[in-house]
A and B are shown apart, each in its own frame.
Chain A
Amino acid sequence: MTLVVRYFAAGCMLLWAAALPAAAQQQFITVASTTSTEESGLFRHLLPAFTKQTGVEVRVVAVGTGQALKIGERGDCDVVFVHDKPAELAFVERGFGVDRREVMHNDFVLVGPTSDPARVDGGKDIVDALRKVANAKSRFVARGDDSGTSKAEIRLWNEAGIDPKAAGGGWYRDTGSGMGPTLNTAAAMDGYALSDRGTWLSFKNKQNLKIIVEGDRRLFNQYGVMLVNPAKHPHVKQDLGRRFIDWLTSPEGQRTIADYRINGQPLFFPDANASQL
């Protein structure tokens, strides 16, 4: 038995030693970002290029935009990279973030079952489409997690003059989950859902879902990056963080973003320079 214990302990030590060196050697920053950037595969394409050039590892915690901003607020990351402009501006306004810069955009799409029970019948008008979904009381699967997509969806319902939560009838399902789980739920119950295009394109469990509405100007989805304010949180790695932000908005970073495609389709459109004009 002592032998067993000894082997067990030795095994633990070995594994521990094997797992840790990667964490110990390298300079790194922690970035709080959104599920859309992680789940769409963008970071797996983008970050190695930055690390190769600078030797700085980027550790991404992928959560909803609301939660990512909260992580920044508590000082638990160095950089925040999210997509909810009003919330980002408020974050900077309240002194939690500095150096906010716009990086790229893509767009939201309304996805729904091929049978299209609400008879949205394509078109570009997202607000009109949401009204049709509400009128038909077709199932709509919502994020409901304070993420950028969730906030955009709520703004669109407001524009349509509908309060889906108050509407009753059980057609509006608030799942309180990330984009992927929401799409999984929508696929399982043949519901409509608002998704960012990146997650949608890389999502592998589409079943009967397809894009119902796209191309509306109101579906624009801007991503911004900012440094957590070192004046509030002195431990923030501001030099490394700034290097990451500078690189993302540099011609090279922008080109790397543009190069990321799935089946030939670009997922994100760099716009750092446009926003500075």
Chain B
Amino acid sequence: MHDLAAALTAAWQLVLSGDPTLVGIVSLSLSISLTAVLLASALGLPLGAALVVLRFPGRNAVIVIVNALMGLPPVVAGLFVYVLLSRSGPLGNLGLLFTPAAMVIAQTVLVTPIAAAIARQVVEDLWGEYGELYIFDGVGRIRTVCSLLWLGRFSLLTAVLAGVGRAVAEVGAILIVGGNIAGVTRTMTTAIALETSRGDLALALGLGIILLALILTVNATAHFAGSAARRAAA
């Protein structure tokens, strides 16, 4: 109990102090994860819809792979990106390792399958309902994909939010490709890992509480914005 109380106090004091380091860490966390989710949505949502609309050999295999990749361990994703971006790796010339860009790439790898898998499910339901209409009207494949995604936009918000949750909370991948460099690649989760290592459990938990509050805020904003938009659309 003592630890928890100390953590709450630490969290409260951190927020009140408006510590610039904390502000930097929080904004870095958010900018990396939101950028990654944006990229992953741009890749994953059309991919998921395409998996419904297009028929091609190996389609089922792709679906299984996408679903399985939802459970991709962050450490493995991180290691994969690390090997790619390392100076001794194929993309080493870019010099991206230990930069925020590398962290965005790693999180995009993690979130894309989630966006794709949830989009596929949402679009599949819509396809069952309206698919024949599209075929009957002779709508092109690409326009069908866009139109179905638009129809499912409110449900797809779930996919995006699930992605934000996964990205913001993840530590394994960004620790490896970012290196947890103070002021450059230190995010909420890697800072928590570091403070735990230093045995400052109260500060670590305090940061954890702030992270939780952030995730709550993102979800609440999306939820209310979503339902407001739904009402406006109805």
Contacts and interface: CB of A to CB of B under 8 A. Distances in A.
Nearest to A32: B179
B87 A59 contact: no
A8 B180 CA distance: 27
A30 B178 CA distance: 12
Interface residues of B, number: 38
A60 B190 CA distance: 14
Q: Which of the four size classes fits the interface of chain A?
A: 35 or more
A1 to B, nearest CB: 4
Nearest to B232: A1
A277 interface: no
A15 B199 contact: no
A4 B225 contact: yes
B interface, over-half SS:
helix
Contacts of B24: 19, 22
Nearest to B150: A1
Interface string A1-19: 1011000110110011011
Interface in B77-134: 86-88, 92, 95, 97-100
Interface of B: 24, 27-28, 30-32, 34-35, 38, 86-88, 92, 95, 97-100, 153-154, 179-184, 194, 196-201, 222, 225-226, 229, 233
12 contacts: A12-B38, A38-B194, A59-B98, A74-B87, A75-B92, A76-B86, A76-B98, A180-B198, A181-B196, A187-B199, A205-B199, A235-B95
Interface of A: 1, 3-4, 8-9, 11-12, 15-16, 18-20, 22-23, 30, 35, 38-39, 43-44, 59-62, 74-77, 178-181, 183-184, 187, 202-206, 233, 235
